[in-house]
Amino acid sequence: MLNIPDSPHPRIVIIGAGFAGFNLAKKLRKKDFQVVLIDKFNYHQFQPLFYQVAMAGLEPTSIIFPLRKAFQGSPNVHIRIAKVTKIKDEEKRIDTTLGEIYYDQLIIATGATTNYFGNEDFKKFTSPLKSLSEALALRNEILSDFEQALMTPEYEERQGFIDIVIVGGGPTGVELAGSLAEMRKYILPKDYPELDEKEVDIYLFQGGSRLLMGMSDHAGKKALSFLRKLGVKVELNKRVTGFDGTFVTTKDGQKIRAHKVIWAAGIKGNCLDGLSNCEIARGNRYLVDEQHKLKDFKDIFALGDIAYMKTEKYPNGHPQVAQVAIQQSNNLAKNLIKNKSNAFVYKDLGSMATIGRNKAVCDLPRMKFSGFFAWLLWLFVHLMSLIGFKNKIFVMLNWMWNYMTYDQSLRVIINTKEKPNSTRIQKT
């Protein structure tokens, strides 16, 4: 049992403390609801900066925020760290790894997970980047492989340790590729003078005809040119068809020896068991109406990446980005507090991606630009979006230090629980 005290107020259970769930719980603090916020982790994660943790550019703790600290002094918010396993809507209860709990209103904000499109090998052997622990695992893999490469005199075998393939040319793939290229340029010659950095190949394979499909054509072209200047081997219309942990194969017959393949090629909604009568839309997302309510359910809502809301302007659902999750939770909070049914209207504030030092692309509603000012804006927006004053300061200091010294002293291998099926583990 989750041991939540009785309350005279209606109970709102929120599953997921990501951008949507966390923000909603904040808005419902000190209101006439009993709020139960359930997440697998005891912290809120800032996913847009995962790649910097993976590239040893930021401390993991500077991009997360402990839930209990965030809700200090909010007696109506109860936090439980558990995985929700099933929704039993007829009984208005959910099952969790800690037991079951009753709800008056249920908010599903479970986000999205990596989509391997049914390929078991990709799932088994590639590295995803959807959680902080995956970012840390990737950091360990990259650094451990450089260490292994030092002890591998044979060229072909060494390539396997140092070459990296990134699949997917969306913001995550582009940001990772740029960051890796800078690591190769600035860090490798200093940390690993025995390795020839020119031997390190970074591949970015994009199945579509351009990078950053969710952004403008201008942004896609600029990102391509920035990455190529940094020496990343970007290939468009390139489909990866197989990976066995040692060799990557592509549809056009290319075979590359690389132990590290980073999978940034797709996501799908984190739907939960139960709710057999609900409609699941494209991308494994719950179909919701404009008031965020699941179709045919009067007391279950979905927000953020997991929600698929068709509107005139967004007939294929809203983009799966942080602003949508935040704005949806703001609208639902207002509706719940004021007992209203206002329809959600998304205000697109723009999108951006950084490619490296002084290089970013930025699509604002009225203008598109790239380069140094886009990069400055990217830094500012991400800094401001981080939760917690300490996190903002630490990240800013890290970035300043990195900018001035071209070096970061976070390249430590701290072993977390590794993938049991990792080829690397089998080898050692």
Ligand X SMILES: Cc1cc2nc3c(=O)[nH]c(=O)nc-3n(C[C@H](O)[C@H](O)[C@H](O)COP(=O)(O)OP(=O)(O)OC[C@H]3O[C@@H](n4cnc5c(N)ncnc54)[C@H](O)[C@@H]3O)c2cc1C
Question: Catalytic amino acids?
Answer: 175
Near ligand X by CB under 6 A, which window of 38-46, 69-77, 205-213, 221-229? 38-46
Q: Any idea which residue has 């209103």 for tokens? A: 105
- Alpha-carbon distance of 66 to 390, in angstroms, equals 12
Q: Any idea which residue has 């950084």 for tokens? A: 354
- Alpha-carbon distance of 319 to 308, in angstroms, equals 9
Q: What string of H, E and C letters represents the secondary structure of 349-385?
A: CCEEEEEECCEEEEECCCCEEECHHHHHHHHHHHHHH
- Alpha-carbon distance of 5 to 233, in angstroms, equals 57
Q: Is 20 in the site for ligand X (CB under 6 A)?
A: yes
Of 12, 13, 19, 95, the residue at the interface with ligand X (CB under 6 A) is 19
Q: Is 111 in the site for ligand X (CB under 6 A)?
A: yes
Of 48, 60, 168, 245, the residue at the interface with ligand X (CB under 6 A) is 48
Comparing CB distances to ligand X, the nearer of 169 and 304 is: 304
Map the footprint of ligand X across residues 147-186, applying CB under 6 A.
171-172
Of 12, 34, 47, 125, the residue at the interface with ligand X (CB under 6 A) is 47
Near ligand X by CB under 6 A, which window of 193-201, 298-306, 392-400, 401-409? 298-306
- CA angle (389, 391, 394) in 5-degree steps: 110
Map the footprint of ligand X across residues 224-283, applying CB under 6 A.
270, 272
Residue whose beta carbon is closest to ligand X: 18
Exposure string over 361-389, b if 16+ CB within 10 A, otherwise e: bbbeeeebbbeeebbebbbeebeeebbbe
**Can you read off the two tokens belonging to residue 65?**
């925020």
Near ligand X by CB under 6 A, which window of 33-41, 148-156, 389-397, 404-412? 33-41
Residues with Cβ within 8 Å of 295's Cβ and at least 6 positions away in sequence, in order, are 278, 279, 287, 288, 289
Q: Is 330 in the site for ligand X (CB under 6 A)?
A: no
Binding letters toward ligand X, positions 301-320, x by CB under 6 A: ---xxx-------------x
Q: Is 21 in the site for ligand X (CB under 6 A)?
A: yes
State the pairing for strand pair 247-250/255-257.
antiparallel
Of 27, 31, 40, 210, the residue at the interface with ligand X (CB under 6 A) is 40
Give the residue from 360, 356, 355 showing the smallest Cα distance to 374: 360
Q: How far is the CB of 19 from ligand X (least distance, A)?
A: 4
Q: Is 356 in the site for ligand X (CB under 6 A)?
A: no
Q: How far is the CB of 402 from ligand X (least distance, A)?
A: 18
Helix (H) / strand (E) containing 301: strand 300-302
Comparing CB distances to ligand X, the nearer of 80 and 259 is: 80
Task: Report the interface residues with ligand X, using CB under 6 A.
Answer: 15-21, 38-41, 47-48, 50-51, 83-84, 109-111, 129-130, 171-172, 270, 272, 304-306, 320-323, 325
